[in-house]
């Protein structure tokens, strides 16, 4: 399983803060995970944003970062703290 998390505006648009995605060997990178989500339909296109940020196991990464079974993967809009 991949543990997915969504934050802030993405969570509002997607109507969920987390879900489990079954893992399979074709999920090699975060880009593959995102592609599965984008294929679900209109609301999910929010994840196509140029400035999307992502994290693997609670560390910032990029879409080419590899994923493995059991990972926690998060997608979120640009951060606005401080």
Report how far residue 75's alpha carbon sits from residue 56's, in angstroms, rounded to the nearest whole number. 9
Q: How far is the CB of 73 from another protein (least distance, A)?
A: 12
> Which of 38, 27, 34 has the alpha carbon at shortest distance from 62?
34
Binding site for another protein (CB under 8 A): 5, 7-9, 12, 51, 55, 58-60, 74, 76-82
Report how far residue 46's alpha carbon sits from residue 27's, in angstroms, rounded to the nearest whole number. 20
Q: Which is nearer to another protein, 26 or 59 (CB)?
A: 59
Q: Which is nearer to another protein, 24 or 49 (CB)?
A: 49
Taking the CA atoms of residue 43, residue 36, residue 79 and residue 3 in that order, the dihedral angle to the nearest 10 degrees is 110
Q: How far is the CB of 46 from another protein (least distance, A)?
A: 12
Q: How far is the CB of 9 from another protein (least distance, A)?
A: 4
């Amino acid at each position: 399983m991949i543990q997915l998390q969504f934050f802030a505006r993405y969570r509002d648009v997607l109507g969920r803060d987390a879900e489990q995605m079954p893992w399979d060997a074709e999920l090699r990178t975060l880009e593959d995970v995102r592609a599965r989500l984008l294929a679900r339909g209109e609301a999910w296109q929010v994840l196509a944003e140029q400035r999307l940020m992502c994290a693997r196991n609670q560390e910032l990464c990029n879409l080419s970062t590899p994923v493995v079974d059991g990972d926690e993967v998060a997608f979120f809009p640009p951060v606005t703290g401080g």
